[in-house]
Structure 1
Amino acid sequence: MKRTMVALAAATSLLISAPAVASAAGPGWAGGWAASAQPPTAGFEPNWSLAGFSDQSVRQVVRLTAGGPLIRIRLSTVHSGPVSLAGATIARTAEGGAVRPGSLRRLTFGHRAGVEIPAGREIASDAAALPVGPLDEVTVTLHFARPTGPTTFHEGAAATSFRAAGDHLSDPSGAAFTETTHSWYFLTGVDVLDTSPRRDTVVAFGDSITDGAGSTVDADNRYPDELAERLHGRFGVLNEGIGGNRVLSDSPCFGEAATKRFARDVLSRPDVRSVIVLEGINDIIASDIEFECFVPNPEVTAADLIAGHRSLLRQAHARGVRVIGATVTPVKGFAAYSERIEAVRTELNTWIRTSGEYDAVADFDRALADPADPRALLAAYDSGDHVHPNDAGYHAMAAAVDLRAL
């Protein structure tokens, strides 16, 4: 058995060891974890994306939703210049910034410890023999010996990342990792070797509500996490939400429009079976908000948004991917709320529910709405801003997904 695993690891490495790949897909790989790439920005709380790294190690903790005998990572410079990575490791997570000593594995890229990542690319590491199961936590450590400049990152991680001066790739202790933020840097995926012949990955695609804004940090209570717990390895669940993302408009902070990033963030992921689409509220409210991250901010109609959703449907169906349409959740009580916003949201939701164009519907609107006033979130599900659910709300969203639809 051991000789078979070594041979499998070597063969898989040869298949994925090119320094840069056009897509993350590969024979036998499935998505275990993912995050969507964003441009460097100051964000809503302090982060390291604008300053970048120089002779520093960054340690990032993620929880997998699928398991397998081999593992690899994906790194992205989609929104930044070229970067020199001195080395990388992966290990089982211990407490805080620490890892389990016997689980540390050196990652290679084309059988080399380091790699030069060109600007605007995504690369995959070679395979590493670290058997993992669904809901296991792993820690990825990246060392940047030379200055990176501003970084591609994912702002709203709802998880703690750690930074230390110097090379701490093989350091099992978390003692040196004294600096923290709540974002991920360069890391956009962790894939596992899938021995099943079927496609086994579900992608949750959307904005901050998919991303998990308002959930408890380091608790893995975002709705895709809760959905993964329901599935417990039957399918992997990838979270491709970006806070502030819109269907139709690009943002200097929140990345490309959903219609543009869908191919990269959904269809290029390995082994994708189905996608849950929850997008539209930021398009609806942006025209009423003065915010540099919402530029341009045209006023959109439900017809505009339906055209955008149809673009996503066409892209997915052309690749044989099943699409579940999610209704847009209530926002009454939000500072910019208006009758116009409610009218557009209602018309879009009616189309999602009744048009028959989606393969199935996840009615998150009804799952979270206050029965006494369906335009508003139920107070027990409100994180406090009247837009984003709390942990209980995200649990209710996951419970509203019909697993047979996946």
Structure 2
Amino acid sequence: MTTKKTFLVLLVAAALALVAAPASAHQRPWSATWARAMQAPAGESWQGPNWSLDGFDGQSLRQELRVSRGGDSVRVTISNRYGTGPLRVTGASIGKPGADGAVRPGTLRPLTFAGRASTTVPAGTERTGDAAYLRVAALERLSITLYFSAPTGPATFHESSADTSYLAAGDHRFDPRAAAFTGRNHASYFLSRVDVGGRPSPSVVTFGDSITDGVSATPGTDGRYPDRLAERIAAAGLPYGVLNTGLSGNELLNDSATAGESGLHRFQHDVLDQPGVRTVVVLEGVNDIGLAGWLGRPLTAETLIDGHRALIAAAHAEGVRIIGATITPIAGSFYDSPEAEAIRDAVNDWIRTGGEYDAVADFDLALAEPGGDRMRAEYATLDLLHPNDAGLAAMADTIDLATL
């Protein structure tokens, strides 16, 4: 039997929906402000267990993110690219986060899809929602809550979010409190893009592996190198969104069950299909080099260079500017070997001097010891492969904003 409290919640949600998604919402100009690469459900990794294999059932999933540019409204894209069946989202809301999974009172808005509170996303597809009239500033954080009344099946997700996802039993879309959200996880689920409405602007996509993804950034600090780049762009008054489509463990040439489709296979969707994409910064190849040594796979510098050339050709075919980033230091890391270093040096020399990329971001030079191949101590984590927060900031500072 429906309680009075439940009835009032549903009544308020319905009223807000009428305000949030007028019939003309689809005609608004939209600009991408945040994105994340999606991957197939996978079990426990070096980061610990996640919820992707089990999915969700009768639960509310709350996730937080930081936008790169602002607007007068927002809309959200939900992904079921790697689902095994239709994904039913019973309802969703958006607001501005408080502390530890809470949402600031007065900021909660319903998210609708074609004017309805619920939506079903077929397997292998994505669905973009309606406008929610919530004004957001550049570099402001958002909280998105999805409610699933029935089993979702295995969840399309992103393994390394560098943020916390929160889980509660029951429907807590419009509950601003954190008390019910007792589950905690490091991964993110189903959210692939956020757009803002208002004056349209181009986007810069950062594309790569765990270093772009930001797995070594301090969690919850927005310390990834694309985050720092977004801060520089905002401070300079440039109207660009910055989208992070890095994927931990990703290779340029090889698909992986745990690290997603190869850079070659996902470049169209994760870069060229993003709304308003103007420029892409590519940092790919270190996992191809390192895993070739581990697995005994044949790899030459020319093969890796040909992979980069394929990305350049695809970008130029769609009028997108493409910046090549040199592969960061590996000396002393678990990828280090004379053969690996020779391939890395050859590829980096081609990126710097080949003239095929439209511009170069020399991350290797920014992070390496002067005259050496080892990452500077002040920029390195313990594995000597992933930069720390200071190293990630140094990478962002390396990019000449004029080249964007």
Q: Output the CA distance in 2 between the equivalents of 1:254 and 1:13.
A: 36
Q: Which residue of 2 aligns with 1:63?
A: 66
Q: Kindly indicate whether residue 107 of structure 2 is the aligned counterpart of residue 103 of structure 1.
A: yes
Give the conservation status (yes or no) of the 8 Å contact 1:274–1:324.
yes
Q: Which residue of 1 aligns with 2:138?
A: 134
- The gaps in structure 1 that reach 5 residues or longer are 1-5, 16-26, 291-296
Q: Which residue of 2 aligns with 1:113?
A: 117
Give the conservation status (yes or no) of the 8 Å contact 2:293–2:340.
no
TM-score, normalised with respect to structure 1: 0.91
- Cα RMSD of the aligned pairs, angstroms, is 1.6
Deviation digits for residues 321-348 of structure 1 (CA, Å, limit 9, x no counterpart): 1111000000111124100000000000
- The gaps in structure 2 that reach 5 residues or longer are 1-17
Q: Which residue of 2 aligns with 1:327?
A: 326
Q: Output the CA distance in 2 between the equivalents of 1:288 and 1:309.
A: 20
Give the conservation status (yes or no) of the 8 Å contact 1:70–1:128.
yes
In structure 1, give the amino acid aligned to 2:259: F
Give the conservation status (yes or no) of the 8 Å contact 2:75–2:128.
yes
Q: Which residue of 2 aligns with 1:23?
A: none
2:211 to 209, 212, 233: 209
2:22 to 7, 10, 25: 10
Q: Which residue of 2 aligns with 1:376?
A: 374
Q: Output the CA distance in 1 between the equivalents of 2:199 and 2:24.
A: 13
SS at match of 1:52: coil
Give the conservation status (yes or no) of the 8 Å contact 2:20–2:131.
no
In structure 2, give the amino acid aligned to 1:139: S
Structure 2 CA distance for partners of 1:100 and 1:9, relative to 1, 3 Å: same
Q: Output the CA distance in 2 between the equivalents of 1:255 and 1:387.
A: 20
Q: Which residue of 2 aligns with 1:80?
A: 83
Give the conservation status (yes or no) of the 8 Å contact 2:62–2:146.
yes
Q: Which residue of 2 aligns with 1:158?
A: 162
Give the conservation status (yes or no) of the 8 Å contact 1:40–1:151.
yes
Percent identity over the alignment is: 50
Deviation digits for residues 133-161 of structure 1 (CA, Å, limit 9, x no counterpart): 11000000000111111110000101111
Shift of residue 194 of structure 1? 3.9
Shift of residue 384 of structure 1? 1.0
Q: Which residue of 1 aligns with 2:129?
A: 125
Q: Kindly indicate whether residue 44 of structure 2 is the aligned counterpart of residue 34 of structure 1.
A: no
SS at match of 2:373: strand
Alignment of 1:246-261 (within 5 A): 246-261=251-266
Give the conservation status (yes or no) of the 8 Å contact 1:12–1:127.
no
Q: Kindly indicate whether residue 240 of structure 2 is the aligned counterpart of residue 238 of structure 1.
A: no
Shift of residue 213 of structure 1? 1.6
Give the conservation status (yes or no) of the 8 Å contact 2:20–2:110.
no
Shift of residue 357 of structure 1? 0.6
Q: Output the CA distance in 2 between the equivalents of 1:9 and 1:363.
A: 45
2:273 to 264, 268, 273: 268
Deviation digits for residues 358-384 of structure 1 (CA, Å, limit 9, x no counterpart): 110000000000115x21110110111
SS at match of 1:312: helix
TM-score, normalised with respect to structure 2: 0.92
Q: Which residue of 2 aligns with 1:294?
A: none
Deviation digits for residues 212-236 of structure 1 (CA, Å, limit 9, x no counterpart): 0211000000000000011116211
In structure 2, give the amino acid aligned to 1:248: L
Deviation digits for residues 239-290 of structure 1 (CA, Å, limit 9, x no counterpart): 0000011111111111111111011001111111101000001111112225
SS at match of 1:47: coil
Q: Output the CA distance in 2 between the equivalents of 1:224 and 1:339.
A: 31
Q: Which residue of 2 aligns with 1:318?
A: 317
Aligned residue pairs, count: 381
Give the conservation status (yes or no) of the 8 Å contact 1:159–1:217.
yes
In structure 1, give the amino acid aligned to 2:395: M
Q: Which residue of 2 aligns with 1:228?
A: 230
Shift of residue 7 of structure 1? 10
Q: Which residue of 2 aligns with 1:22?
A: none
Structure 2 CA distance for partners of 1:308 and 1:153, relative to 1, 3 Å: same
SS at match of 1:67: coil
